[in-house]
Amino acid sequence: MIPKINNTSKLLILSGFLISITGSTIFGIDWLELAGLSIVFVGFILSKKDFIEGGGDNGKYIYYTIIVIFVLLTFIRWFGSGELLNE
């Protein structure tokens, strides 16, 4: 079950992913990927209330799981060797 999130969060998440994808692949500018992922993170932070209320009893677990996975993947991408994602 996917909770309904507000339009501002949807816009931030979608635009962040588009900026990170186009910034690194089309334009070749690495810092645009980090800026896009930061925008996605802000979108997730702003949608906290919607995830927790829309997810029922497990809403807070779903939200915090998404945040932890997102932070771990970003950390691995930028500070690790990236070999875990390239296998």
Q: What is the pLDDT of residues 35-66, one digit of tens each?
A: 888 899 999 999 888 888 887 788 888 889 98
C-alpha to C-alpha distance for 61 and 50, rounded to whole angstroms: 13
pLDDT at 15: 93
Long-range contacts of 30-39 (CB under 8 A, 24+ apart): 34/78, 37/74, 37/77, 39/12, 39/13, 39/15
Q: Which amino acid is at 36?
A: G
Name the residue with higher pLDDT: 60 or 77.
Answer: 60
> CB-hemisphere CA count at 13 Å for 19?
17
Q: So what's the pLDDT on residue 18?
A: 92
The angle subtended at Cα 33 by Cα 39 and Cα 61, nearest 5°, is 50
2-44 confidence digits (pLDDT tens): 668 888 999 998 999 999 889 878 888 878 888 888 899 999 9
